[in-house]
Structure 1
Amino acid sequence: MTTALQPQLPSHPVLRLRLAPRSGMPRSIDGAWWPRSYDLLVELPSLIAGLPRAWGQIASVTVNGAVWSAVPGRMLVFNEVVRLHRALTASAPHTIVLLTPGRGRWDLMVVPPETAEETAEPLMAAAASDQE
């Protein structure tokens, strides 16, 4: 009798992130992120881990306070303090803003977690395209 081995599932889900190509021109959206929930304390560490090293250490994150669950004023991510801000503006309800002192600001479109894959994929591709 032989036993077929089941492929092991990754211990951490794959990060659903698409970033726009680097260019010298500023962009209003630098890519798209499709989290699995609106729990920033769970989702943020994997997002930060998947960002390009060239972005540096993210020191501040701003999310829409009406959409994301309550968050503390700061959290420890990979032994670094990240300040968390909740904006209550309706101008960009589906974005997350990442700041690195001395390096820059990156705005990512947030695809709502409940979005179906066939809808999310084209949204992410458009946000990360060369066209703006």
Structure 2
Amino acid sequence: MPLPRLTLTPDVSHGPLDGAWWPRCDALELELPSLVGSLEPDSDTSVRVTVDPAEWPDAPHTVMAPGREIAVEPAGPGSEAHVITLDCGTVGRWVLLVVPPAEPAGTAARLLTAAADPENPLTATRMLALAETGRLEGTTPDAQ
């Protein structure tokens, strides 16, 4: 499995996000094992993932990964869009911006960096909206 395209906030996050993840495709069952593996929970740790049902409409209820089964649940009403939450028992809990797989590399890199900034006060939805208009950290949108 290729390493996930992931950034995490160093130490403790002070914002609504703990980092960002840029999956290569929208097949959660293909992407999730490497993401969970990079967070280093041991095989005895139960892992539960909550996903935005609009972003992952066909998400399976479980995903098999080496040495474990990952429980996948849809986020409830009122949950933030474009977010994945990983609860890895005693290892930790992460709330990550999900950068759309088709996002241009330059925009994705800016989103990954901004989401991992411990002082970032923006929600995932707001960050994506700013990136789309080129106003995330004063950047310009990528040519498509």
When normalised by structure 2's length, the TM-score is 0.71
Percentage of matched positions with identical amino acids: 37
> Aligned residue for 2:104?
116
Deviation at 1:57, TM superposition (A): 3.4
Change (3 A) 1:37 1:58: farther
Aligned to 1:4: none
The CA RMSD over aligned residues, in Å, is 2.3
Which AA in structure 2 matches 1:128?
A
Closer, same or farther: CA 28–72 of 1 in aligned 2, 3 Å: same
Q: 1:22-37 maps to which residues of 2 (within 5 A)?
A: 22-23=11-12, 27-37=15-25
1:70-85 equivalences under 5 Å are 70-85=58-73
Task: Compare the two structures and name the one with the higher strand fraction.
Answer: 1
Q: Which amino acid aligns with 2:109?
A: E
Residue in 1 that maps onto 2:9 = 20
TM-score computed with the length of structure 1 as normaliser: 0.77
Partner residue in 2 for 1:126: 114
1:53 Cα deviation after fit = 4.9
8 Å contact kept, 1:40–1:69: no
Aligned residues: 119
Say if 2:51 and 2:85, in contact at 8 Å, map to a contact too: yes
Runs of 4 or more consecutive aligned structure 1 residues displaced over 6 Å after TM superposition: none
Alignment partner for residue 75 of structure 2, among 73, 87, 90? 87
Q: 1:50 to 1:101 in 2, by over 3 A?
A: closer
Match 1:60 to one of 39, 44, 48: 48
Alpha-carbon distance in 2 for matches of 1:102, 1:53: 9
* The structure with more radius of gyration: 1
